[in-house]
Amino acid sequence: MEARVREAAQRRKEPCVLDLTPSNVRDYEQGRLSLLHRDVEGILERHQAEYFVSRLECARIRSGFEMREELINYKKALYLLYQVSRLPGWCSGRWAHSGEGGNAS
């Protein structure tokens, strides 16, 4: 199994997950279900990979990854709102009445 994992990483020209450490964890792609599927399909026999992926679907793993993605998007939106709120004129009401954002009521 170790040889298969290393061969798959070498084919993709990526670091091998077996060499992961706390200091190099950012060198690895992470956080997407497609990466898990790719890795499983790259190291297991086809019928084993299909079974594994089907078990992931039964365990609703996809919804967990989707929620993670939505939370990241929400965090980015909040950060952008924070940055915009620091711009001159944000709190003066100028934008709210000009139709450039917010409610133009």
Residue ranges per domain, the chain? 2-87
Average pLDDT over residues 80-85: 91
Average pLDDT over residues 27-50: 89
Average pLDDT over residues 10-27: 91
* Token pair listed for 35: 């990466």
Under a CB-based contact definition with an 8 Å cutoff, are residues 15 and 27 in contact?
A: yes
pLDDT value at residue 103: 53
Under 8 Å CB-to-CB from 18, ≥6 apart: which residues?
2, 5, 6
pLDDT tens digit sequence for 39-64: 888 888 999 999 998 998 888 888 99
